[in-house]
Amino acid sequence: MSSLTPLVIANWKLNGNLDLVNALATTFAGKTFAAQIAVCPPAIYLRDTHFAIEETPLLVGGQNCSRYESGAFTGEISVSMLKGAGCDLCLIGHSERRAIFSETNQDCREKIKLALQQGLKPVLCIGEQLAEREANITQEVVVTQLRECLQGIDLGSSEICIAYEPVWAIGTGLAATPEMAQEVHAFIRQELAHLYSSPVAQRTPILYGGSVNKNNTAELMKQLDIDGLLVGGASLDVTHFLSICELASASVG
């Protein structure tokens, strides 16, 4: 069990609508959790979500941000716009952004820099593809992503969060076993200690993502280096997501 306050983030991806925003708000109204909970709806619903969840302990986050702050970049949304819409955090470098929209580690680095400058907590997503796991190069892949995304970034007193999401586990129903996830999480923490310092590694939450549901939450959260969860599909059912949040809260000893 981790010593950090667990963080559970819902990633709705390109799903949901105002009805789902309202269902989430109603389901979580008046509840308290030992875990911190955040929801990342599509950008068009961020502001509605921000207001709808006033009576809940939920935080709001973006699923993506621009690597530019302003200018002629049609279709982009800047970090300061996310902040203005009430966001506390932002996912950066989700594997779908990398695979489908060709986002690079360098893009992630620029986004992280902007997010840190503006006080928006970056949640950097990393993880290996199936072929890479089968070729036994998971550690190399994860280290390269970490080093390139964080190169030149001084964390100082700023907080960053890492989400380890093995690509083969995302949306497939095939979650990593708690042991497999723990092994990579411990490795990531070790690498953070190497890149920064032991205190930075200890205070940086490392979330697991990839087919998380209410049946695997408790076992995942028992692992020493799993500090929280990034939940896709299962977060679209607000009652299911509530169960995940309750189970993650119950993991706090």
Answer for which of 137, 159, 171, 190 binds ligand PGA (CB under 6 A) is 171
Q: How many CA atoms lie within 13 A of 157 on its CB side?
A: 1
Using rule CB under 6 A, residue 116 touches ligand PGA:
no
Rounded least distance, CB 194 to ligand PGA, Å: 26
Contact assessment for residue 181 and residue 226, using Cβ atoms and an 8 Å cutoff: yes
Q: Residue 165 CB, nearest distance to ligand PGA (Å)? A: 6
Q: Is 128 in the site for ligand PGA (CB under 6 A)?
A: no
Paired tokens of 191 = 């690498």
**Which DSSP category does 89 fall into?**
E
Residue 229, by phi and psi: left (phi above 0), alpha (psi -120 to 50) or beta? Answer: beta
d(CA 251, CA 205): 15
> What mask, x for binding ligand PGA by CB under 6 A, covers residues 5 to 44?
------x---------------------------------
CA 49 to chain centre: 18
Residue 127 touching ligand PGA (CB under 6 A): no
**In terms of CB distance, is 53 or 176 closer to ligand PGA?**
176
Contact positions with ligand PGA (CB under 6 A) in 199-228: 209-212
Note whether 205 and 161 are within 8 A (CB): yes
Q: Which is nearer to ligand PGA, 41 or 233 (CB)?
A: 233
Q: Are 64 and 91 in contact (CB under 8 A)?
A: yes
Here the tokens at position 9 are 């983030």
What is the number of other CB atoms lying within 10 angstroms of the CB of residue 235? 29
Cβ-based nearer residue to ligand PGA, 13 or 67? 13
Residue whose CB is less far from ligand PGA, 25 or 230: 230
165 belongs to the binding site for ligand PGA (CB under 6 A)? yes
If we measure between CA atoms, which residue out of 97, 107, 101 comes closest to residue 127?
A: 97
Q: Tell me, yes or no, if 69 is annotated catalytic.
A: no
Q: Which among 103, 128, 165, 191 is annotated as catalytic? A: 165
Catalytic residue among 94, 96, 185, 191: 94
Catalytic residue check, 194: no
> In angstroms, rounded to a whole number, what is the distance separating the alpha carbons of residues 57 and 28?
8
| Candidate list 45, 121, 233, 242; residue touching ligand PGA; CB under 6 A | 233
Site residues, ligand PGA (CB under 6 A):
11, 165, 170-171, 209-212, 230-234
Could you give the residue numbers annotated as active site?
A: 94, 165
